[in-house]
Amino acid sequence: MKVSVQAVAVWGKIAPSHSITAIMITDDQQTIVTGSQEGQICLWDLSSELKISSREILFGHTASVTCLAKARE
pLDDT tens per residue, range 19-33? 889 999 999 999 999
* Contacts with 25 (C-beta within 8 Å, 6 or more apart), sequence order: 31, 32, 33, 46
Dihedral sign computed on CA atoms, order 63, 64, 69, 73:
positive
pLDDT tens per residue, range 52-63? 888 888 888 889
Residue-range domain boundaries for the chain? 20-59
pTM of the entire structure?
A: 0.71
